[in-house]
Amino acid sequence: MTVHSFINRKASQLVYFVRAFWEGRIPYREVDLYFWDTMEEWSQVKDTLTQPCSQKERVFWHLLHQVHFWSEQKLLEDPYLRSELITCLEYLEGEGQYPLDCVGVRP
């Protein structure tokens, strides 16, 4: 699997998990499990050091880190954080601009 195909597949899943969490359709622990599953799958991707990093990939890693780093409460209640993350979601869905101050790097 290439980095590009991995990011395309996992980005749509990440969007689903974050939106489902915010809408109360899944508990936060499902988002956390998604994070760890993604890390495990990433470790199996070949040639991660030779393939270039796209803007979509940077946004993906940034968003994934944010939803893992911040507490469930902060993700639900902080309007500034939520606005930032919505910008990332919209970009991953192909509907928005590249987020400012997006610092996503590969693990």
Query: Residue 50: inside a domain, yes or no?
Result: yes
Query: Residue 35: inside a domain, yes or no?
Result: yes
Contact 107, 41 (CB under 8 A): no
For the chain, what is the domain count? 1
pLDDT for the residue numbered 82: 96
Q: What's the domain range around 70?
A: 3-92
- Give the model confidence (pLDDT) of 14-43 as tens digits: 999 999 999 999 999 999 999 999 999 999
Instruction: Give the Cα separation of 11 and 99 in Å (integer).
Output: 15
- Give the model confidence (pLDDT) of 79-107 as tens digits: 999 999 999 999 999 998 999 888 888 98
pLDDT for the residue numbered 100: 83
Query: Residue 99: inside a domain, yes or no?
Result: no
Query: Residue 100: inside a domain, yes or no?
Result: no
Query: Residue 28: inside a domain, yes or no?
Result: yes
Whether the predicted pLDDT of 75 surpasses 90: yes
pLDDT for the residue numbered 50: 86
